[in-house]
Amino acid sequence: MTTTVAPVKRISRKNIVSPIGFKAAGIHCGLKHKKHDLALLISEVPASVAGVFTTNAIQAAPLLVTKEAIQQAGKMQAVIINSGNANACTGQQGLKDAYAMQQATAEKLGIAPELVGVSSTGVIGEMMKMEPILKGIQKIQPSAELEGAINFSQAILTTDTVTKNTAYKTIIDGKEIIIAGTAKGSGMIAPNMATMLSYITTDANIESVHLQAALKAVTDVTFNSITVDGDTSTNDTVLVLANGLALNDALTPTHPDWALFVQALHAVSQDLAKMIAKDGEGATKLIEVEVQGAISDDEARKIAKSVVGSPLVKTAVFGCDANWGRIIAAVGYSGATLDPNAISIKIGTTTVVENGEPVYFSEEQLLVYLKQPEVKFTVALHQGSGQGVAWGCDLTYDYVQINATYRS
């Protein structure tokens, strides 16, 4: 085993098929009027798999089928995804439809059904139109080329305005390891997962149990640290497939390059999480909240999520209003331990609160800053060494318009 420390680098070919042995595709099957609405991701060989899912007690049928598949096989070789219908709150028929998608995909690829994951996204409470889906499964042809990856990333979108893709590489045991990811998510985004589907591929050699541990740790500080509107969906899924075709020695927490793998997985997950937050429905700005000096990292993240999730903070950002009172109020109701007389707050690099008291600042200067596409608030508590970050977006007129007419 090598002990040489290699950097983790973002790569230009940032798409889901960048790692060795993956293919993808996306087509229009008929659930939507014109846009791509059916996607397929496959690995040449059964891959180790890890997944994290919504914390909502109401869980969509495809999510249940996918969780069952992971428990049965401990591996995954393909994922079939549709947009345009969430297949959530659809009863026994919805469950049968999710199994039918799994079975049809397995038969097409000549693999066991339990090696196929299923995801759906779209309107809740509408029955699936299975005829176009099943015909689409027969038609779809995955490719290792860029076009297949682009079509895949388009086919999983709902109200998103852009596709979301990223990839990183590093060297483990002298082998180049690539981790790539594609996601969708724009509204119904809240901490502790979001209305998001995220698929991450890697050619690293790692067993499912260790991949799950790495994903869980990374998710807590990435996908679980974003919010758009405070709602948590029924279909939220993050899946990681690791097919081992890079032929490195099996990664475990005791492997000398374990930290490099986790760092690369973190980089992919954080990129996707921030892209989702930035593409919030109707959003014009990405908001980052950094909390320093909390009594623990968990407490710091709790405060950061509270601030970035505040509708009053979000609307103030949309209006370019340096209303720090809304920030400190969200800090106060976060439930975290704090001393009100020790709090300091910065908007960008400008201090607006010091030791719990207001500091003179230029409204005109902050107006210019708040017009930027990305804004940052820093909250210092001076209570300990805990640190945390959360991301979100502003709340706009367009958000109301999009969600007032989502079904019509």
Which residues are annotated as catalytic? 195
Neighbours of 239 (CB within 10 A): 24
Please write down the HEC assignment for all residues of 40-51. Answer: EEEEEEEEEEEE
Please give the Cα distance from 159 to 74 (Å, whole number): 33
Do strands 344-347 and 350-354 pair parallel, antiparallel, or not at all (unpaired)? antiparallel
Please give the Cα distance from 184 to 276 (Å, whole number): 7
Rounded to 10 degrees, what is the CA torsion of 209, 211, 213, 215? -150
**Nearest of 297, 308, 238 to residue 272 by alpha carbon:** 238
Strand partners, 178: 169
Whole-angstrom CA distances from 249 to 78, 188, 209, 210, 222 are 24, 40, 16, 13, 27
Please give the Cα distance from 89 to 40 (Å, whole number): 24
Edge-first strand order for the sheet with 350-354 is: 226-227, 386-393, 286-294, 374-380, 344-347, 350-354, 357-358
Number of separate helices (H) and strands (E) present in the chain: 11, 16
Element (H, E) at 52: strand 38-53
In order, the DSSP letters of 272-336 are HHHHHHHT-TT---EEEEEEEEESSHHHHHHHHHHHHT-HHHHHHHHTT---HHHHHHHHHTT--
SS3 178: strand
